Amino acid sequence: MNKLNPSIKHHLIIASFISLWLFVFAFIIKPFDDGTINFQSWLLISIGFSGMAFLCYAILAFLQKKIYDSIQKWNLKLELSSLLFYYFIYLMGIYAYYKSPILNGGYSFGQFFTIIFIKVALIVTPVIILARTYLIKLIPIKEDILVIKGENRLDVLKINKADLVCISNAQNYVEIFYIENEKLQSKLIRSSLKKVQDDFGFLMQIHRSHLINPTHFKSWRNSNTIVLTQIELPVSKNYKEVLLAL
């Protein structure tokens, strides 16, 4: 999984679902019942194991958000590390609960791990994977916002990426053309065309003096001119082949 929904609220919903699922499954199915556990003990096991599942997943939700906010990315390695961390703290938590005066369990750590924990992990893992995969679909779609800055502190233009049409050189300035209220607008900012191109790699150069947003390309007016949204620009011979691929 190369994406993460960092929303703590959404992950706490997962934690609640895991807790409920584990309680119902443990109490009704009794996956590690050896015939010696009475009703009261099963109730305490089910409550404790499910409550600990919620608590540990809540800890994971806060930790993974902190990591994601820090590095602004997610990958399979981080996903696997998160799940392993969850199972580690969950194992420590439920084993401590199992050995507490509440249950006073008799299994050693090794026995507990093989007889009880592995079964619990098998019950919970598919739910976690499916739920975390589903949460990716709930990531809100944000419009790409471009912040174009010039050399002067007041030279700032913030627009949606989809509204940027093209940028042209104007001596010591660049002229930015963009759509606002369905009309073509422009703004001069003290900067260079090269700097703008370095900052925004999606822009395509069609002339030594012009960069375009490829999504606004409409058609060819003639062999040396293209039509963009509400504007036409010349095309240099050196850049024509790239444009022909659009």
Q: Which residue range(s) make up the domain with 41?
A: 8-136
Cα distance between residue 171 and residue 194, in whole Å? 13
Under 8 Å between Cβ of 88 and 96 = no
Last residue of some domain: 136, 167, 191?
Answer: 136
Residues 160 and 60 in one domain: no
pLDDT the model gives residue 34: 61
Q: Which of 38, 50, 53, 32 is nearest to 103 (CA)?
A: 38
Domain termination site, one of 136, 161, 178 = 136
Contact assessment for residue 184 and residue 216, using Cβ atoms and an 8 Å cutoff: no
Q: Is residue 3 part of a domain?
A: no
Partners of 207 in beta bridges: 210
Residue 91: inside a domain, yes or no?
yes
Looking at the structure, tell me whether residues 112 and 53 fall in a common domain: yes
Q: Does some domain include residue 27?
A: yes
Do 177 and 116 sit in the same domain of this protein?
A: no
Residues 195-214, mean pLDDT to the nearest whole number: 94
Question: Using an 8 Å Cβ cutoff, are 228 and 217 in contact?
Answer: yes
pTM of the model: 0.60
Given a contact cutoff of 8 angstroms between Cβ atoms, the answer to whether 162 and 215 are in contact is yes
Contact 18, 124 (CB under 8 A): yes
Same domain, 130 and 149: no
Given this model, what pLDDT does residue 139 score? Answer: 77
Evaluate whether 10 touches 135 at the Cβ level (below 8 Å).
Answer: yes
Domain-located, residue 2: no
164: β partners: 178
**42 in any annotated domain:** yes
Indicate if the pLDDT at residue 185 is higher than 90: yes
Does 196 map to a domain? yes
pLDDT for res 15: 95
**If you average pLDDT over every residue of the chain, what do you get?**
91
pLDDT score for 32 = 65
Residues 168 and 202 in one domain: yes
- Both 103 and 151 in one domain: the answer is no
Whether residues 13 and 116 fall in one domain = yes
Residue 185 corresponds to which amino acid? Q
Q: Do 78 and 170 have their domain in common?
A: no
Could you give the number of structural domains in the chain? 2
User: Which carries the bigger pLDDT value, residue 197 or residue 25?
Assistant: 197
| 181 Ramachandran zone, left/alpha/beta (phi>0; psi -120 to 50) | left
**Domain-embedded: residue 199:** yes
The residue from 136, 167, 184 where one domain ends is 136
Among 48-57, 65-74, 187-196, the least confident range: 65-74
Lowest-pLDDT range of 1-5, 154-158, 180-184, 224-228: 1-5
Q: Nearest Cα to 165, choosing from 222, 217, 201?
A: 217
Q: Is the pLDDT of residue 229 over 80?
A: yes
Percent of the chain with pLDDT over 90: 70
pLDDT at 142: 64
DSSP for 182-225, written as a single string: TEEEEEEES--HHHHHHH-TT-EEEETTEEE-GGG--EEEETTE
Q: Name the pLDDT band for 48 (thresholds 50, 70, 90).
A: very high
**Using one digit for the tens of pLDDT, what is the confidence trace for 123-177?**
899 999 999 999 988 877 666 889 999 998 889 999 999 999 999 999 899 999 9
What pLDDT does 70 receive? 87
Query: Mean pLDDT throughout 90-104?
Result: 93
